[in-house]
Structures are given as C-alpha cells and as structure tokens.
Structure 1
Amino acid sequence: MAVKYAIIGGTGVYDPGQVDDARTDKIHTPYGEATVTIGTYAGKHVAFMARHGEGHATPPHRINYRANIWALKEIGVEQVLATAAVGSLQLALAPGELVLVDDVIDMTKSRISTFFDAERVVHVDMSDPYCGRLRQHLKDTADHLGYHVHDGGVYVCTEGPRFETKAEIQMYSRLGGSVVGMTSIPEVTLAKEAELCYATVCMVTNYAAGLSSHPLTHQEVVDTMRDNVGKIRSLFYNFIERDTSTRTCSCKEAVGGQTPLGQEEH
C-alpha cells in the first residue's frame, strides 16, 4: 500500500501518536538523509516526520527542508499535513487557538527555497501556497469534530532562531500578517515544487512581542503545544480517515509534472 499521507510535526509534536505498526526509516536523498516514521491508521499508510529532529535538536534555520520534502515525495506521499507553533500578530487570535493559514510572507534571509537551482529554471505559482482543497477538507473535519479553527490567515516566516523585536512585529502586522513563525518557508515552497498538496494548521502559543505583557520563552511555546497537541492529532487523523485521496486541485500539476526527482511524471 502506498504512503499517500504525511504529517510534519513542528515544536511539541515529536511522534506520530495514533498509528499502528510504526517503523522508522532513513531515506537517502541528494540533500542528505531524512528520518521518516511510517505506520498505519484506518487502513491507510501514514508517514510522520519530526521537523526539528529527535529531541528538538535542529533550529529552524538549519532544518534540511529539501531532504525532508524530497524524501516524502520519493516514498509516494501526495498530501502533507503540517503543524506549526506560532505567535499571534492580532489580539483576536488568542493563545491556544488554531489557525488554518492560507498565505505566507517570506522574511527569511539565508535559506535555499527551491529544488530548481541548477540545470533548468522553473517558476512555481504560489497564488495558493497552502492547498485550498486540503484546507477546506481540514476545515470540514474540524467542524465535524466541533473544533473552532480560524479559517484563513497570513503566516509571516522569519529567519530565527531569535524571537522578533517589537518593531518587527508592528511591521508584520501592518503588512497584513496574522501569525509569525520560523518554519513555513521554504517548506511550503518546496512542497509546491514537489507537486504535493500541503496545508499547515498553526497553534497560537503566545502573543508576539509588544502584544504580550511579558518576555516570550521557548518553554512557553512548548507548554502550550503540549496542552493542545491531542487536538491537532485528532484533526489530522480524522481527516485521513475520512479522505478519499482524490486530488481535484492543481497542486499535482504545479510545475507541469517536472518533479524535483529530476524527471517528468507520466
């Protein structure tokens, strides 16, 4: 049975949780090794990847995003569900709430954000960075479970690993940002280039600098994620159980079949 679904766990989400018969594999890619745990849920194979590695050892600017996305594509994944711990840029998005982001602003500085940096030039369309079909199905699943999810929002991705200044937060808010984090770029871009359906469910862990009355710590982020990780897992696994795997969106043709594996799909 093909592995059609993948979960990428961010801060606080370090294991697949509810899968059966889990095994961990090392996938060799041109960009290095990627670690993937594969198990079964509701009769479907699911891959899980801890974005920051075992024990949260890899900071956001050092994650091997290209190896991770390449590995998922190589094992047959078509739909990727990602988690992200984020700070809120808006008072209406309170800590503990879920946001199904639909757009992104790239404020990173030094990350390689493409597979296509040699031999051929490919310009991927990012007008729907987080797959609209996948987001709608996740929203429908959340409604089915009785979970409140903010439908839509702009993810501002910063370089990290430091937290943002108050002046930066004010700027991001004025630019239209909803939440701020450090990992969606280049992950979402690479997923689009790999012609994967990709969606991120953000957990608001804190108000960003200037909106909060106290300095932010990483432990605060981890604690909030720990208290809410069960809800995100339930959302993802219920979606996987209910999904028909039919990809009616344009993600599967995002680069005209020119996959990052170096060959056209037929």
Structure 2
Amino acid sequence: MEKMIGVIGGSGVYEIAGLENAAWISVDTPWGAPSDQVFTGTLNGVKMAFLPRHGRGHVHTPTTVPYRANIHAMKAMGVTDLVAVSAVGSLKEAYAPGDFLIVDQYIDRTFAREKSFFEPGLVGHVSVAHPACARLSAACAQAARGTGVQVHEGGTYVAMEGPQFSTLAESRLYRSWGADVIGMTGMPEAKLAREAEICYACVAMITDYDCWHPEHDAVDVAQVVATAMKNADKARALVAALPGLLAAPQSECPCGCTRALDSAIMTAPGKRDAGVMAKLSVVAGRVLKG
C-alpha cells in the first residue's frame, strides 16, 4: 500500500517549504462537505493531505466540525497515517504551556456529536481500547523531539463539548481522574479514524493550564492563540519530518489499526441496509465486499 500522510489541524500547519505539486481538492462525502477542501502535495517523495479542522478562517465550532466527513475524506484520498495536531490545556503542573504531548488515551465527555459511521441497518462495534496507533505516535514523538520542543510521550486527553472552557469544579474533577490534558476536538475524531481503519495519532500542543492552576489566570482565547502561534513553526517542522520517518511502504499496521473492523460488523448479511452499505463503502468497504 502506498504511503500517504494526512494531517488534521490548524490552517497554518500545511504551510511547509518544499511541498511539491500543491493543490486544494474538493472531496464529496455521504456526510456532507468536510471542514474545507483538502490541501494535497508531495513532500520528500511522500504524498501528503492537509485538512484545516475548523476550516480556513476558523468557521466551525468544536461541535459543528464535520468529523465524519473529514475522516471519510482522508480515507477516500488514500491516507494511511493520520496525524491530528490539536491545541489543549494542561491538567498537570509538569506539562507546561509550549510543551507537546503525544496522546495515547481519551476520556470522551462530548454529547452533541455524531460519533460513528455505523447506523441502523448496519450495526458495528469497534474496539477503541487503544485509540492511538503506537507506531505512528512513536514517529510523531521522534519528529517532535527533533524540533527542540519538550515532548511528553503518552497521556490522557479529556474531550469536552465546549465551546466554553471548563468551570473550576470541572477542571478539578478531570485532574482527580488522572487526566493530563483537555481539549474540544479529540473526539469523535479518534473513534472515527479507528472505524475507518486509519492509523491515528494526536500531537497535543499545550497552550495553557486550563483554570485549575492558582498561579495562572483562567484560560482565554488570546492566551491560547498566542501560545499556539509560538509553536506553529515547531508544528510545521514536526510534520515536515514525518515523511522521512514513515516513508517505508506498509501493508498492515502492527498495532492492528488497519484490521479494526475484522469482527466489528454485527448485522447479518441478509439484514444489511443497502443504502447504509453504500455510504460506508469507502470507510468499511474492506469488510463489506462480497
């Protein structure tokens, strides 16, 4: 299988020197339009696809991001390795604004989003016990270290609905759970990537201490944007290093990401809705054929 690296993140992540044959491409999906067109190109001989999660100009709220359309578009483009770059708040003293954390677990506290490609007429249950691809996460950590940023490998991301930031009581609650960072877009993105059998990793860029820290002001947009802008160059350098770490062709992921649907479909073949099967022909076609 030909390697293609996908990146979902801020609008500036795709501004990488050396990207060849760059073009914006529109992708249609059964779940409507993605957040934006997909920016494609080739970097050091590896195909790349970039999608601004909130759209250029930040037009989508965390709730209205079309997560299913975004993941479908990445799968349809041929993405094999999908890296999410996300701004988050820290829930631990040791994880400071400006640091990067490679996420390996999630607590999903969202409630107003469609979280699965499967629906009545075609029922599927996929395991997300280990939602991040260890192989891809390790490559992201290596690439991040090369930028000189402080990198923390492994951590739990609390996905909140938003768009408001946490109350102090909520922030303290999430800390008591042992969570490491908090954000608004990690779910259902990671779950949908698993259903689509795409290797997925999240690079969390820490911008603030949420509101729990007694020596820091409560988080606001200006603080988040300022820290994110300081880290923009390092995020681009991280992405630019990935082709060199992930260029080798690979038919199967050793973590099992590419076979996540092997035993997921519950609906008997004779009871499967043809319309739903058609909608899922891209993300689940491997197990629906025949």
DSSP 3-state at the match of 2:33: strand
Change (3 A) 1:245 1:162: farther
How far apart are the structure 2 equivalents of 1:209 and 1:147?
Answer: 24
The structure 1 residue matched to 2:220, chosen from 217, 224, 229, is 217
The answer to whether the Cα contact below 8 Å between 2:13 and 2:236 also exists between their aligned partners in 1 is: no
Aligned to 1:101: 103
CA apart distance, 1:90: 0.6
Counterpart amino acid of residue 255 in structure 1: L
Change (3 A) 1:98 1:245: farther
How far apart are the structure 2 equivalents of 1:250 and 1:31?
Answer: 26
Which digits, 9 at most, give the CA deviation of each residue in 1:146-190, with x for residues without a partner?
543101110000000000100000111111110000000000000
Aligned to 1:22: 22
The answer to whether the Cα contact below 8 Å between 2:144 and 2:234 also exists between their aligned partners in 1 is: no
The answer to whether the Cα contact below 8 Å between 2:13 and 2:235 also exists between their aligned partners in 1 is: no
Aligned to 2:274: none
How far apart are the structure 1 equivalents of 2:259 and 2:64?
Answer: 29
CA RMSD of aligned residues (A): 2.0
The answer to whether the Cα contact below 8 Å between 2:159 and 2:184 also exists between their aligned partners in 1 is: yes
CA apart distance, 1:260: 5.8
Aligned to 1:249: 255
CA apart distance, 1:121: 1.5
Which digits, 9 at most, give the CA deviation of each residue in 1:77-116, with x for residues without a partner?
1110110100000111000000001100001111110001
CA apart distance, 1:75: 1.2
TM-score by length of 1: 0.93
The structure 2 residue matched to 1:240, chosen from 238, 243, 262, is 243
How far apart are the structure 2 equivalents of 1:242 and 1:28?
Answer: 31
Larger radius of gyration: 2
Counterpart amino acid of residue 285 in structure 2: Q
DSSP 3-state at the match of 1:86: strand
Counterpart amino acid of residue 69 in structure 1: I
CA apart distance, 1:13: 3.6
Aligned to 2:74: 72
CA apart distance, 1:141: 3.2
CA apart distance, 1:143: 4.1
Aligned to 2:268: none
Aligned to 2:276: none
Counterpart amino acid of residue 223 in structure 2: E
Which digits, 9 at most, give the CA deviation of each residue in 1:238-263, with x for residues without a partner?
12222124233200001128766253
Query: Between Structure 1 and Structure 2, how many residues are aligned?
Result: 265
Deviates more, 1:131-140 or 1:14-23: 14-23
CA apart distance, 1:14: 5.5
Change (3 A) 1:13 1:156: farther
How far apart are the structure 2 equivalents of 1:170 and 1:46?
Answer: 39
Aligned to 1:161: 163
- Which structure has more strand as a fraction of its residues? 1
TM-score by length of 2: 0.86
Q: Please give the residue correspondences for 1:166-177 in structure 2 after superposition, counting only pairs within 5 Å.
A: 166-177=168-179
CA apart distance, 1:233: 1.6
Q: Which runs of 5+ in 2 are unaligned?
A: 266-279
Aligned to 1:264: 286
How far apart are the structure 1 equivalents of 2:6 and 2:177?
Answer: 32
The structure 2 residue matched to 1:227, chosen from 210, 227, 230, is 230
DSSP 3-state at the match of 2:4: strand
Which digits, 9 at most, give the CA deviation of each residue in 1:40-75, with x for residues without a partner?
100111000000001011110110000000011011
Aligned to 2:180: 178
